[in-house]
Structure 1
């Protein structure tokens, strides 16, 4: 069953109108394109609290997951906060940093993104699309939400996680 938040489109429309008056119609169109891309790329499916258990908290959309992914032999990774929060999200990342993460799988500090992040597929997007997605993420209202840190393969998990089990 797919849950749908009917208030979200109205909020996005209002947000776009406000932006159109302050940032210009071109910026508003770029942000709307980025919102569309984030939706069809299902960023919220991993990066929204509660989404992985079928109860997305749309008041904190894209603010990071409270459920991680275990990758055997590598550890457990929790999808991070993608909002513009300076302390817990992408607020300190430039648009170029976000595009590099999506295209090359590398954070501003040089670390590789978690293997569950499908950056290799997203890296095939056009420059315009990645720019629009980065513009949208930078325009998101900051939501303070610190997700659990990654857990090594021999460490004990501190929060719920999903796992991949290989047959054998």
Structure 2
């Protein structure tokens, strides 16, 4: 009976530690070594503009992987030309309308990707969900408002470093986030 309690306690402790270690946090699991401007180091007083200057491609690659961007945009970040429809919430809006979501091409192709976007416009899209034409991105795209300049500009640098892919992606038809009565 005692061994059963010990095994259960160890199992619970291991499970709790795993959940904590793999949990979603404000900096996407990026540790201080990779994110010198992250919230985990209160003793480091680095100006956000300096954080932008410290951004690097390897940290961007790590952030893309940690945050799971390739799950929708693909391993080559060239988007998907087939409708994203793995969840009911992606195919029906709050008002019951049909929704068509196509993760866009994030490569540097100037015609079909983000090649004409400024680095700052791309950073705003990642952080706030506003595109280079001041349009709101679909709400299914998770936005990362707490991301440091270091991390967001590292992602931008990574996206600028990958091969451009010419791939026409249909424009998404986003769902309304509120019913007419809620507006």
TM-score bracket relative to the smaller structure: 0.5 to 0.7
Q: 1:105: Cα distance to partner? A: 0.9
Q: Deviations over 1:45-101 (max 9, x none)?
A: 0001xxxxxxxxx5xx11011332424236212000011111111101111011111
Provide Cα deviations, 1:1-29, integer angstroms capped at 9, x if missing partner: xxxxxxxxxxxxxxxxxxxxxxxxxx9x7
Say if 1:32 and 1:71 are closer, same or farther in 2 by CA, change over 3 A. Answer: farther
Per residue, is there more strand in 1 or in 2?
A: 1
Structure index of larger Rg: 2
Distance 1:65 1:30, change over 3 A: same
Query: What residue number does 1:130 align with?
Result: 152
CA distance in 2 between counterparts of 1:98 and 1:80 reads 12
Task: Using the TM superposition, give the Cα deviation of residue 126 of structure 1 relative to its aligned residue in structure 2, in angstroms.
Answer: 1.0
Tell me how far apart the structure 2 counterparts of residues 79 and 124 of structure 1 sit (CA, whole Å).
22
1:68 paired with 2:83, answer: yes
Question: Could you list the runs of 5+ residues in structure 2 that have no partner in the other structure?
Answer: 1-52, 85-90, 176-183
Aligned CA RMSD, in angstroms, stands at 2.2
| Structure 1 partner of 2:114 | 90
1:125 deviates by 1.1
Distance 1:146 1:130 in 2: 25
In the TM superposition, what are the counterparts of 1:134-145 in structure 2 within 5 Å? 134-145=156-167
* Counterpart Cα distance in 2 of 1:138 and 1:74: 34
Q: Aligned equivalents of 1:152 and 1:114: distance in 2?
A: 5
Change (3 A) 1:99 1:151: closer
Q: In structure 2, what is the equivalent of residue 77 of structure 1?
A: 101
Tell me if the contact between 1:90 and 1:138 (Cα under 8 Å) persists in the aligned partners.
Answer: no
CA contact (8 A) 1:74 1:152 kept: no
The count of aligned residue pairs is 114
